[in-house]
Amino acid sequence: MVDIHTHILPGMDDGAASLREAVRMAADAVACGITAVAATPHFFTPSDPGSFYRERDAAVEALRSALREAEIPLQVYPGAEVRPDEDFAYAPALRAAALGGSRYLLLELPFRRLTALQVMGIADSARERGYRPVFAHPERYTLFHRDTNIVNELADQGVYFQVTAQTLAGFGTKEECRFAAALCRANMAQFLSSDGHGARERRLTIASYEVLRQAGISRKQYEFMTDTAPQCVLSDKSLPARQAVFL
Ligand SMILES: [Fe+2]
């Protein structure tokens, strides 16, 4: 499996607190069958990157060498979980924030006072500049629970969705779990990721199909979201077309 949403880099955000914790997270990942991850620290000021890329790249290198030393077979690709700021439309050098040097951009939406217009604007800004927007954890936004038309519209406009594996396993509010399962069952979620933050809580694991089938998804859907689609990201290929049924 390949996990495109992780907070494994130490000292970048609210994820791994130390290199030691990052190595334990990597061991968790390998134990559940993950062979590669995109390291996606929170990136709150894409229009003013400052030292973000430099720090991230140094953290990726430090982690890779610690994993080599510990003989943990996990590949680590640079990425970011981008939260669009007010000047997102003019953000420079977004390519370095994209997942593993591809055109797929993992985007986290602001949680409060989110409007349909705002969401469409963010997706448009990304697409107009040649990126393939992937919305992180759509199940966490009440706007999407209330208005499935906007979700269908976004999918129609080429936005991809990454559901968090823990939510699909039933950990979350009732609405979040219901929405996550519905999105996956409708073939509208392309990615299933851990959004792993630590070695104790919010761990870097993706439950097996035997566990997640309780959400009503098929093995084919599970394999697409945990392997086929994320492999396409790492090689910057288009995702194979699937028939979505829409919400
Ligand atoms: Fe995240």
Domain boundaries, the chain: 2-234
pLDDT band at 241; cut points 50, 70, 90: confident
For 44-58, 109-123, 141-155, which range has the lowest pLDDT when averaged over its residues? 109-123
Residue 221 scores a pLDDT above 80: yes
Q: Rounded to the nearest whole angstrom, what is the distance from the C-alpha of residue 137 to the centroid of ligand 1?
A: 8
pLDDT score for 112 = 78
> CA separation (Å) from 140 to 109, 112, 127, 178?
10, 11, 22, 11
pLDDT score for 242 = 76
Q: Rounded to the nearest whole angstrom, what is the distance from the C-alpha of residue 164 to the centroid of ligand 1?
A: 9
Read off the pLDDT of residues 106-146 as tens digits, 9 standing for 90 and up: 999 987 788 999 999 999 999 999 999 999 999 999 999 99
Q: Rounded to the nearest whole angstrom, what is the distance from the C-alpha of residue 111 to the centroid of ligand 1?
A: 13
Calpha distance 183→207 (Å, rounded): 18
Q: 218: which residues sit within 8 A by CB, 6+ positions away?
A: none
Whole-model pTM?
A: 0.97
For 109-118, 151-160, 216-225, which range has the lowest pLDDT when averaged over its residues? 109-118
Q: Rounded to the nearest whole angstrom, what is the distance from the C-alpha of residue 9 to the centroid of ligand 1?
A: 12
Q: Quote the mean pLDDT of the chain.
A: 95
Backbone angles phi, psi at 13, to 5 degrees: -160, -150
Q: Rounded to the nearest whole angstrom, what is the distance from the C-alpha of residue 130 to the centroid of ligand 1?
A: 23
Confirm if 247 and 182 have CB atoms less than 8 A apart. Answer: yes
To 10 degrees, the CA torsion angle through 58, 59, 63, 64? -40
Closest CA to 245 of 194, 163, 181, 184: 184
Q: Rounded to the nearest whole angstrom, what is the distance from the C-alpha of residue 7 to the centroid of ligand 1?
A: 6
Structurally, at CATH architecture level, domain 2-234 sits in Alpha-Beta Barrel (3.20)
Q: Rounded to the nearest whole angstrom, what is the distance from the C-alpha of residue 197 to the centroid of ligand 1?
A: 8
Calpha distance 25→233 (Å, rounded): 22
pLDDT band at 101; cut points 50, 70, 90: very high
* 117 C-beta neighbours (distance < 10 Å), count: 9
Q: Rounded to the nearest whole angstrom, what is the distance from the C-alpha of residue 235 to the centroid of ligand 1?
A: 22
Confirm if 14 and 197 have CB atoms less than 8 A apart. Answer: yes
Q: Rounded to the nearest whole angstrom, what is the distance from the C-alpha of residue 42 to the centroid of ligand 1?
A: 7
Calpha distance 211→217 (Å, rounded): 11
Q: Rounded to the nearest whole angstrom, what is the distance from the C-alpha of residue 238 to the centroid of ligand 1?
A: 23
- Burial tier of 115 (Cβ tally within 10 Å: 0-12, 13-18, 19+): exposed
